[in-house]
């Protein structure tokens, strides 16, 4: 059930709007400012079009477009004018919003950053993309982990960005930290359509968690984004699925109370619990060990694939980016701290 796109809202429901924003072309500060205003206008459209909507979600790259331009003149700050404009729009129209910026980083390449702003204009969550879409994206790997925030009507929100959602560990971390709704914003193009759909469904089912995901839509004259807004129930069934129409707001209702119920009472396929309680029918409390080699190796800093030396693409030179000279955590021109 999705309440006919949120038109019939349940007392414990959260109505989410997913804005399939037209893919912009942004090459100058003036165009950046104009696009920020357009996003604020779409925030107003969301409220005017639906009095029951709680949260409007904008795609990754909705401000900057897909040029991958790292010009400092186009980069943003969380306390900058673009974000302040959106905070005011959320305040004025009494709606939560999820927004995307490329964030200035004095110590390296910019961060690909997502923000959740509440209906009073407060920044409730700031997330930096952990897994840039290499080798295409030049962004600094995120350094804030996966933060959570309390959302509208008693919900618990997490945000991941685009390629993040291809890693099951990301969704598992969101759920483990208590999220009942995972937002996923993206700028993906059509070749990723099938992978997008199956990962949104798997991330939901494997973690008993709603996923609400949206891409940019339309063409900027070079790239063609796909839209494909989706809300998936915690049982893995798609509740709402948009197409490719630019600027359409695809909406639906989710009920976090049902997630919390399933996590408490399900036996079969309560996988998030069972991961840490293997075989509890046979042994009291189940096995709580970690039998996964890759987890131990990653935590110890020795993650290495059997075919590591045969991997061909290990930097961004194939996409025109220079080889990096800095290790993770190091400032420009320096070694890792």
Strand bridging mode 230-232 / 210-215: antiparallel
Q: Which fold has domain 3-267?
A: Nitrilase/N-carbamoyl-D-aminoacid amidohydrolase (3.60.110)
> What is the reported pLDDT for 97?
98
- Give Cα 128 distance to the centre of its chain: 10
The beta-carbon contacts of 241-248 under 8 Å, at least 24 apart in sequence, are 242/18, 242/20, 242/214, 244/20, 244/217, 244/218, 245/20, 245/217, 246/20, 246/21, 246/22, 246/23, 246/217, 246/218, 247/19, 247/20, 247/21, 247/22, 247/42, 247/217, 248/19, 248/20, 248/217
Q: Give Cβ neighbours of residue 21 (< 8 Å, ≥ 6 apart).
A: 39, 42, 58, 59, 62, 216, 217, 246, 247
Model confidence at 337, in pLDDT bands (50, 70, 90)?
A: very low
Question: Per-residue pLDDT tens for 124-166?
Answer: 999 999 999 999 999 999 999 999 999 999 999 999 999 999 9
Name the helix (H) or strand (E) containing 82.
Answer: helix 81-93
Strands 248-254 and 14-20: antiparallel
pLDDT of residue 38: 98
Q: Please indicate whether residue 103 or residue 8 has the higher confidence score (pLDDT).
A: 103
- Please state, as a whole number, how many other Cβ atoms lie within 10 Å of the Cβ of residue 236: 17
Of 9, 98, 126, 129, the active-site residue reads 129
Pair 254, 211: CB distance under 8 Å: no
Mean pLDDT, all residues of the chain: 95
Concerning whether 290 is annotated as a catalytic residue, the answer is no
Q: What is the CA radius of gyration of the chain?
A: 20
Q: Is the pLDDT of residue 201 over 50?
A: yes
Which residue is catalytic, options 149, 162, 174, 215?
162
Q: Which residue has the tokens 């699925």?
A: 241
Give yes or no for residue 334 having a pLDDT over 50.
no
* For range 312-327, the mean pLDDT: 95
pLDDT of residue 336: 37
206 classed as catalytic: no
Q: Is 60 a catalytic residue?
A: yes
Q: Give per-residue pLDDT as tens, 75-92.
A: 999 999 999 999 999 999
Question: Residue 331 pLDDT more than 70?
Answer: no
| 250/56 Cα distance (integer angstroms) | 10
Kindly state the DSSP code that residue 52 receives in the 8-state scheme: T
pLDDT-derived band of residue 6, with 50, 70 and 90 as boundaries?
confident
Q: Measured between alpha carbons, how far is residue 111 from residues 75, 77, 174, 208, 331 in Å?
A: 9, 10, 20, 30, 14
- Taking CA 294 as the corner, what is the angle to CA 193 and CA 275, rounded to the nearest 5 degrees? 80
- Residue 184 to residues 41, 121, 133, Cα–Cα distance (Å): 22, 21, 14
Q: Kindly name the residue from 60, 137, 140, 228 that is annotated as catalytic.
A: 60
Q: What is the DSSP letter of 12?
A: T
pLDDT value of residue 3: 73
Residue that wins the pLDDT comparison between 270 and 1? 270
Mean per-residue pLDDT, 40-53: 96
Q: CA torsion 195→125→99→194, rounded to 10°?
A: 10
In the predicted model, is pLDDT for residue 333 greater than 70?
no
The percent of residues above 70 in pLDDT, for the chain, comes to 97
**Residue whose C-alpha is closest to residue 112's, from 130, 86, 125:** 130
Residue 2's pLDDT band, with cuts at 50, 70 and 90, is low
d(CA 276, CA 241): 33
CA distance linking residue 180 with residue 272, whole number of Å: 12
Q: What residue segments make up the domains of the chain, in order of their start?
A: 3-267
Please state, in angstroms and rounded to a whole number, the distance separating the CA atoms of residues 284 and 28: 63
For position 1, what pLDDT does the model report? 55
């Amino acid at each position: 059930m999705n309440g006919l796109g949120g038109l019939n809202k349940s007392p414990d429901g959260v109505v989410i709007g997913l804005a399939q924003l037209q893919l912009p072309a942004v090459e100058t500060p003036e165009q950046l400012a104009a696009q920020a205003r357009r996003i604020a206008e779409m925030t107003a459209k969301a409220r005017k079009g639906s009095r029951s909507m709680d949260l409007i979600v904008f795609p990754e790259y909705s401000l900057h477009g897909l040029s991958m331009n790292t010009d400092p003149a186009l980069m943003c700050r969380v306390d900058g004018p673009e974000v302040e404009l959106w905070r005011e729009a959320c305040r004025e129209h009494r709606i939560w919003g999820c927004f995307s910026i490329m964030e200035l980083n004095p110590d390296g390449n910019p961060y690909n950053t997502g923000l959740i702003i509440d209906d009073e204009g407060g920044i409730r969550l700031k997330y930096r993309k952990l897994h840039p879409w290499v080798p295409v994206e030049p962004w600094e790997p995120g350094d804030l982990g996966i933060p959570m925030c309390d959302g509208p009507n008693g919900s618990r929100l997490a945000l991941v960005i685009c390629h993040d959602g291809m890693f099951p560990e990301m969704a598992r971390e969101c759920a483990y930290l208590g999220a009942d709704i995972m937002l996923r914003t993206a700028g993906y193009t059509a070749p990723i359509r099938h992978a997008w759909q199956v990962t949104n469904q798997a991330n939901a089912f494997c973690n008993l968690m709603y996923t609400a995901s949206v891409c940019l839509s339309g063409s900027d004259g070079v790239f063609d984004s796909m839209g494909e807004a989706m809300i998936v129930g915690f049982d893995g069934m798609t509740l709402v699925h948009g197409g490719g129409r630019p600027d359409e707001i695809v909406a639906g209702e989710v009920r976090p109370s049902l997630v919390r119920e399933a996590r408490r009472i399900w036996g079969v396929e309560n996988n998030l619990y069972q991961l840490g309680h293997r075989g509890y029918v046979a042994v009291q409390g189940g096995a709580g060990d970690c039998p996964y080699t890759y987890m131990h190796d990653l935590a110890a800093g020795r993650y290495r694939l059997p075919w590591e030396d045969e991997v061909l693409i290990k930097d961004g030179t194939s996409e025109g980016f220079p080889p990096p000279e800095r290790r993770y955590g190091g400032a420009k021109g320096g070694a890792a701290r």
